[in-house]
Structure 1
Amino acid sequence: MKEIRAFIQPNKLNSVTTALMDIPGFPGMTVIDCQGFGRERTQHVQDYRPFMPKKRLEIFAPDSLVELIFTTIMTVACSGQHGDGKVYIVEALEGGRISSGERRVDLG
């Protein structure tokens, strides 16, 4: 099991969500509003703040779906502009379902 963690432009959330939901067996995701900056930075005249709004997607998926989810996000979230975002794949060693107490390596 892996975690796919993506930081995308807010205006791409609907199209990314729709594309991901079309993947058979897509396990679901969490969306968080966040701010940050990378190489791209904005400058405000009165009060310099480099932070840009982003949406953070967190998806825990079985290894068999990771490449398809990653590729889908990379393709759909791309506008060709700086600041489109980033996608990471992180190893998830174990998970637990609170309601049932179930604990296993591949908890989808």
Structure 2
Amino acid sequence: MKEIRAYVQPHKLSQITMALLEIPGFPGMSIMDCEGFGRERTEHSQDYKPFLLKKRLEIFAPDDLVEIIFETIMRTAHSGHHGDGKVYILDVLEGGRVSSGERDKDLG
């Protein structure tokens, strides 16, 4: 199992969500508002804050879906402008379902 963590432009969230929902067996996701910066920066002003608003997506997926989810986010989030975002794939060692007490290395 892997975690796919993506930081994307807020205006792309709906389009990304619709594309992900077309993937058979898509396991679902969590979305959070976040602020940060990378190589792109906001313009300097008197109240300079370099942080830009992004949406953070967290998706825990079985190994066989990771590549299609990753590629779907990369393709759908792309606008050709700086600051489109980043997508990461992280190893997940184990998970647990609170309601049932189930614990598994492949829990989705």
Normalized against structure 1, the TM-score is what? 0.99
User: Which residue of structure 1 lines up, in the alignment, with residue 83 of structure 2?
Assistant: 83
Q: Tell me which amino acid in the other structure corresponds to 2:105.
A: V
Distance in 2 (CA, whole Å) between partners of 1:70 and 1:6 is 9
Alpha-carbon deviation of 1:14?
0.1
Distance in 2 (CA, whole Å) between partners of 1:69 and 1:97 is 22
Alpha-carbon deviation of 1:46?
2.1
Q: Where in structure 1 do 4 or more consecutive aligned residues deviate above 4 Å?
A: none
Alpha-carbon deviation of 1:45?
1.8
Alpha-carbon deviation of 1:44?
4.2
Q: Deviations over 1:5-31 (max 9, x none)?
A: 000000000000000000000000000
Normalized against structure 2, the TM-score is what? 0.99
Computed over aligned residues only, the root mean square deviation of the Cα atoms, in angstroms, reads: 0.6
Unaligned residue ranges in structure 1 (runs of 5+): none
Q: Secondary structure of the equivalent of 1:15?
A: helix
Alpha-carbon deviation of 1:42?
0.3
User: Which residue of structure 2 lines up, in the alignment, with residue 46 of structure 1?
Assistant: 46
User: Which residue of structure 2 lines up, in the alignment, with residue 68 of structure 1?
Assistant: 68
User: Which residue of structure 2 lines up, in the alignment, with residue 59 of structure 1?
Assistant: 59
Larger mean Cα displacement after TM superposition, 38-47 or 6-15: 38-47
